[in-house]
Structure 1
Amino acid sequence: MRRLPLLLAALLTLSLLGTPASAAPAPDVPLRVLSFNIHTGIGSDAALDLERTASVIRDSRADVVGLEEVDVHWAARSDFRDQARDLARQLHMRVFFAPIYDLPPLTEGAPRRRYGVAVLSRHPIVATENHPLTRLSTQDPNPVPAPAPGFAEAVVLVRGVPVHVYATHLDYRADPAVRELQVADTLRILAADRPGARQVLLGDFNAGPGAPELAPLWTRLADAWTSAEPGLTYPADVPAKRIDYVTVSPGVRVRNAAVLDTLASDHRPVVADLLVRR
């Protein structure tokens, strides 16, 4: 669904109408976010250890997390576990999983095999949608660019402030053509939110911040990484590229950002402390 439930929208309107004109502005709302490509729980040591993944997220103290490369009953590589629910359970967080692929099981009676992205949140999730992006399927031997799901949107209610949190995974190929289409899709989806919506886009963009195909994103969103340090995230053991991001819309201010040193995945996660304007 695209919009907040009507009751919530009415309550927000009433709260605004009930604020005296002379009252001091309400303080900005703090929010810590994490962007993490978890590589289906497989670390740089090639070991599957979803509990280690959960420990990284827990130690980050993030309120909201965007995850990429999440398996749900997908394959033996992840023991056919529902990684989205397992992480949510271990971390006592809410979860929205947005599959990119949703395939029949390998054996009759087993759950469907799904792979995609997810949003974890300590705050209530009041609306969700799995948006399509233009993709080249990795499951088709002769893929052509076509719309496919797997761009997660979760509206998170942070101390009464709705924040639209997106998790995405852009195309990995050296040719930027599909990423260019995905960036255009992303901007169209972001523009469909109500004017002034607080937006946070988390994800693995598979391109550096100076890549030409990402340039349109920076007309609407700000990169949370402002340090003079390179902030490299991939590969995790000897990082050489910055391809994992926290990005924010106007109305969301970045206090600081850091790359976490961990080998729990082939990517290093990015954590950022934000202030959301009421």
Structure 2
Amino acid sequence: MVAVSAPSAQGSPVQSRDLTVATFNIHHGAGPDDELDLPHIAEVIAGHGMDVVGLQEVDRHWGERSEFVDQARWLGAELDMHVAFGANLDEDPAEAGQPRRQYGTAILSRYPIEASRNVPLPRPEGGEQRGLLEAVVLVRGVPLHFYSTHLQHDSRVERLAQADAINAVLADVEGPTVLVGDLNAEPGTPEIERLATHLADTWPAAGQGQGLTYPAEAPRTRIDYVFADDSVSAVSPDAARVIDTTASDHRPVAVDVTVSGRPGLR
């Protein structure tokens, strides 16, 4: 695994880049009917112009439910995108000699991924292991720190601990930053407010309506988010939308943003 370190170019002028960032819990490639259809996921990503997208519930040789496919690699190849994968569950193969069974998050990017790492998140009540996947994406020369995460679904205690751990990582980051994920908490809850310490929820500034994302067939709650560094010369949200699709049991969220930063050195 490569340690994350952003390229730098001291003294170079700040430049702006327009792109679309997104979050998508893909439910291991299955829709609400639990029928596997990974090409449908690819169609949604391609059809809505997602330049950098954080994925949750991604299988990698996990089991029969996803036909033992490395889903992040398959999507990257199908969409001609760069890939980072973070294994939060890592188990022995069903048969000796086969790849390890892994499950976690991924980042797909139309721009080069210069470095990536997966940071394990705390689980004080013994819940499922979660992680914070980080990638440094070079957007036409400007480095963007992009994060994908999936917080515990059934424990506020764990989500709060995980939010604190994410904040500890973000506190050391300089430059344009985006955090996306299935946070399993509604707006205004303590865990969402805590994550707003370093970043801002883009929906109130750039979206219309309630931004409901789950369940996909008839959404009644907003638990999928795109957060961004909204300080000067960072990430400015221009338009946000929830995509009406049942490719998964969650609807994805896409946000058009302007990223401003100093070009890095490759």
Per the normalisation by structure 2, the TM-score is 0.91
Deviation at 1:238, TM superposition (A): 1.0
Letter in 2 for 1:233: T
Alignment pair present for 1:263 and 2:246: yes
Where 1:28 maps in the other structure, the secondary structure is: strand
Give the gaps of 5 or more residues in structure 1: 20-25, 137-142
Partner residue in 2 for 1:56: 44
Correspondent of 1:219 among 193, 197, 209? 197
Q: CA RMSD in A?
A: 1.6
Partner residue in 1 for 2:5: 3
Correspondent of 1:127 among 103, 112, 115? 115
Partner residue in 1 for 2:215: 235
Give the gaps of 5 or more residues in structure 2: 262-266
Distance (Å, rounded) in 1 between the aligned partners of 2:166 and 2:98: 34
Moved over 2 A (4+): 143-146
Deviation at 1:74, TM superposition (A): 0.2
Q: CA offsets per residue over residues 209-266 of structure 1, 9 Å max, x none?
A: 1112221111211111123401100000110100001110121100010000000000
Distance (Å, rounded) in 1 between the aligned partners of 2:179 and 2:196: 12
Per the normalisation by structure 1, the TM-score is 0.87
Distance (Å, rounded) in 2 between the aligned partners of 1:94 and 1:43: 24
Partner residue in 2 for 1:107: 95
How many residues align? The count is 254
What is the 5 A alignment of 1:99-178? 99-135=87-123, 144=126, 148=129, 150-173=131-154, 175-178=155-158
Where 2:122 maps in the other structure, the secondary structure is: strand
> Of the two, which has the highest radius of gyration?
1
Identity of aligned residues (%): 46
Partner residue in 2 for 1:47: 35
Distance (Å, rounded) in 1 between the aligned partners of 2:208 and 2:46: 27
Q: CA offsets per residue over residues 73-93 of structure 1, 9 Å max, x none?
A: 001000000001000000000
Distance (Å, rounded) in 1 between the aligned partners of 2:172 and 2:15: 27
Change (3 A) 1:31 1:177: same
Alignment pair present for 1:190 and 2:170: yes
Change (3 A) 1:228 1:59: closer
